[in-house]
C-alpha cells in the first residue's frame, strides 16, 4: 500500500517539467519550465491561450471546458506527452476592503481552475497557490519588473506576449508563479559593505 498521496508522485518519479498557470475566464497565462533535480530550472515557453468559446452572457460548464481545452492544446506542442508538475493559482475571497471586481467572477474562475486541474493530461503532481502567497501585496507593475529581472536573456526570448498590452500581466503572472515555486522569485537582499 502506497503512502504517497494520489496527487503527488514519489520523489524518484518527479516530472522533468513544471507548468504554472494564471487562470482566467477568457485567457490563461501559462509558463513551462524544465525542472531538473540538481540544476537551475529554465523557462522554456510562456504564452496566453485564449478561450475560443463565445463569451457573451453567462459563462457555463462548456466555457470552462473550452478554456481548459485551449490550454491543453497550447501545452501539446510545448510539453508533448511528457509528465509534468502542475502549479495553479486558485482564487480566494478576501475581506470586503481588499476585494476587487465582481466576486461572482471568482465562482466562474473556480470552475476554470477545476477543469484545468482535472482535464490536463500527463499531470504527475498538482499544487495550488493563492495570489498573495506568491506575490504578496507588492504593487503589480513593480512585481512584473521583479519577474522580468529574474529571467536571463534566453528566457526572455521564450515569452510570447499577446498583441494587447492589457493582457501581458497574465503571462508575467504565470511566469511569476513558476519562479516562486522554483525559489527564484524571493526578494534579493543587499548587504552593506
Task: Give residue-wise pLDDT tens across range 141-151.
Answer: 889 999 999 99
- Beta-carbon count within 10 A of 66 CB: 19
Structure pTM? 0.85
Which residue in 66, 74, 73, 68 sits closest to 48, CA to CA?
74
pLDDT of 135 reads: 87
Give the pLDDT score at 69. Answer: 96
Those residues of the chain that have pLDDT short of 50 are 1-12
Residue 189 is predicted with a pLDDT of 61
Which among 141, 167, 182, 172 is positioned nearest to 42, based on CA atoms?
182
Amino acid at each position: 500500500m502506497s503512502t504517497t498521496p494520489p496527487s503527488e508522485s514519489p520523489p524518484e518519479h518527479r516530472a522533468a517539467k513544471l507548468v504554472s498557470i494564471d487562470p482566467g475566464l477568457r485567457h490563461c497565462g501559462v509558463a513551462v519550465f524544465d525542472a531538473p533535480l540538481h540544476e537551475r530550472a529554465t523557462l522554456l515557453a510562456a504564452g496566453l491561450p485564449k478561450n475560443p468559446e463565445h463569451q457573451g452572457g453567462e459563462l457555463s460548464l462548456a466555457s470552462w471546458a473550452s478554456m481548459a481545452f485551449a490550454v491543453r492544446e497550447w501545452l501539446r506542442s510545448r510539453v508533448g506527452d511528457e509528465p509534468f508538475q502542475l502549479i495553479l493559482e486558485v482564487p480566494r475571497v478576501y475581506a470586503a476592503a481588499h476585494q476587487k471586481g465582481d466576486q461572482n467572477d471568482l465562482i466562474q474562475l473556480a470552475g476554470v481552475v477545476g477543469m484545468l486541474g482535472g482535464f490536463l493530461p500527463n499531470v504527475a503532481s498538482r499544487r495550488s497557490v493563492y495570489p498573495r502567497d506568491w506575490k504578496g501585496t507588492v504593487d503589480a507593475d513593480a512585481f512584473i519588473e521583479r519577474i522580468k529581472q529574474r529571467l536571463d536573456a534566453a528566457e526572455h526570448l521564450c515569452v510570447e506576449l499577446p498583441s494587447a498590452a492589457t493582457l501581458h500581466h497574465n503571462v508575467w503572472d504565470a511566469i511569476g508563479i513558476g519562479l516562486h515555486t522554483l525559489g527564484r522569485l524571493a526578494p534579493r537582499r543587499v548587504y552593506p559593505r
